[in-house]
Amino acid sequence: MAVKIFLNEDEIPRQWYNIAADLPGTMNPPLGPDGKPISPDMLAPVFPMNLIEQEMSQERWIDIPEGILDLLYRWRPSPLRRAIYLEQYLQTPAKIFYKDESVSPAGSHKPNTAVAQAWYNKEFGIKKLTTETGAGQWGCALSYACCLLKMECKVFMVRISFDQKPFRKSMMETWGGTCIASPSNETAAGRDILAKYPDTPGSLGIAISEAVEAAVTDTTGQTRYSLGSVLNHVMLHQTIIGLEAKKQLAKAGIKKVDTVIGCAGGGSNFAGIAFPFTLDKINGADIEIIPVEPASCPTLTRGPYIYDHGDVAKMTPMLPMYSLGHDFIPAPIHAGGLRYHGMSPLVSQAVAHGLMAPMAIKQLECYEAAMTFAKTEGMIIAPESSHAVAATIRKALEAKAERKERVILFNLSGHGLMDLAGYSKFMKGELKNAELSQKELDETLERSVKGNPVPAL
């Protein structure tokens, strides 16, 4: 039995899949400060025009430029692995496959879009990129991409992760990027938050405000901002994961997948594995598709589908998405990459139309799953990815109870070798479950999304 299924380099997918062409319902546009749909020009100070066009594209298949394929070949196609040791441990009749995105130089799926975005920016004449990072994965991915393309990179890292994961900064600096803790004193948005909450752990929403501000206030016009998740073009770039997985499953003789699982922060690694299978579902296939989020930041399972800003300072347009409110600061769980108040509009639309079945899981079950995974499959995975593994274990045990031979595919979004502080705390019994209370949820929604427009279905 094959435990790893590879593709040759010449079998790499040559087009990305754009689910905007196939989702049911209307594409709700982003809204500007006046409540009207924003035009491409309004985004021009923030993103290069070639990516703005991609963001708005309704074309189903988009060619991957040769220049980007050359960068992706450095670590792609990524392996598809069969988790037989986990299957044996669980004594489940389920067949569990996972796409191993930990093999990229930065250790996660994020370089898939980082190299694409840096390449498009460079084509457009941009010399420097600014960005935010949660757990540090995205800052590393963009620093790496900028290193390959000889561009400058400045990263605002969420304070709590900056303190918990100091080696992430070292990685960014090794590739030539700069990394500072957010909120910082370098931007008006950062200074504002620090004045109000001097001890804040920070959040992705705050860091995004700072990074956008740093890009648009550069008077040379050669700096743009880059976002590692949420936006349509990011989801698009990540579909290479699911497209490769389809070819690999076919090689392994698997005709039908029953369940597709990914952890969801802003939605990109989940969309990457899930969207090509969502197309099959739209065309009638019976597939269960599960985005998994932390119970402390339950955007898809408990948030409303509403227009909201992507960041706390409202620098970004309002996006149609599930949201817990743009100034929501989730509990400081270790899965920093899943601590985001919003969700990709494309994932949100798919969820709103019932194509996906979101699940929220608490921190301790996720760490237990990560420990089981390390002891069976061997890999020490990112705390974000542990959400996908916890859901996979639930589904595999369900299959065992029902005596059904289900095929489960999940995305292993990254390794956890930079996240060992969280593992140590878990083993010492120092980690807690954090679940958002109804009162906190009501308060955040009342404060920051009440009265906002509701996207059409």
Binding site for ligand PLP (CB under 6 A): 108, 110, 135, 137-138, 229, 263-270, 337-338, 382, 384-385, 413-414
Q: How far is the CB of 71 from ligand PLP (least distance, A)?
A: 19
Q: How far is the CB of 108 from ligand PLP (least distance, A)?
A: 4
Q: How far is the CB of 386 from ligand PLP (least distance, A)?
A: 9
Positive or negative: CA dihedral 57, 37, 278, 116: positive
Q: How far, CA to CA in Å, does 202 sit from each of 45, 163, 225, 423, 448? A: 25, 11, 19, 22, 17
Q: Cα separation of 99 and 76, whole Å?
A: 11
For 324, residues 6+ apart whose C-beta sits below 8 A from its C-beta are 297, 298, 299, 302, 303, 330, 341, 342, 436, 441, 444, 445
Residue type (1 letter), 248: Q
Q: What is the DSSP string of 22-80?
A: T-SS--PPPB-TTSSBPPHHHHTTTS-HHHHHHHH---SEEEPPHHHHHHHTTT-SPPE
Is the CB of 18 or the CB of 92 nearer to ligand PLP?
18
Q: How far is the CB of 262 from ligand PLP (least distance, A)?
A: 7
Helices (H), 403-437: 420-427
Nearest one of 221, 225, 195 to 207, comparing CA atoms:
225
Is the CB of 64 or the CB of 140 nearer to ligand PLP?
140
Is the CB of 270 or the CB of 328 nearer to ligand PLP?
270
Is the CB of 92 or the CB of 131 nearer to ligand PLP?
131
Q: How far is the CB of 90 from ligand PLP (least distance, A)?
A: 23
Q: How far is the CB of 344 from ligand PLP (least distance, A)?
A: 7
Is the CB of 214 or the CB of 382 nearer to ligand PLP?
382
With CB atoms as reference, the residue minimizing the distance to ligand PLP is 414
Q: How far, CA to CA in Å, does 111 sit from each of 106, 237, 290, 292, 439? A: 7, 10, 23, 21, 38
Q: How far is the CB of 219 from ligand PLP (least distance, A)?
A: 31
Q: Cα separation of 308 and 319, whole Å?
A: 5
Q: How far, CA to CA in Å, does 237 sit from each of 110, 137, 289, 453? A: 10, 17, 19, 29
* Cβ count within 10 A of residue 248: 24
Is the CB of 182 or the CB of 385 nearer to ligand PLP?
385
Q: How far is the CB of 411 from ligand PLP (least distance, A)?
A: 8
Is the CB of 254 or the CB of 436 nearer to ligand PLP?
436
Is the CB of 16 or the CB of 254 nearer to ligand PLP?
16
DSSP, res 414: B
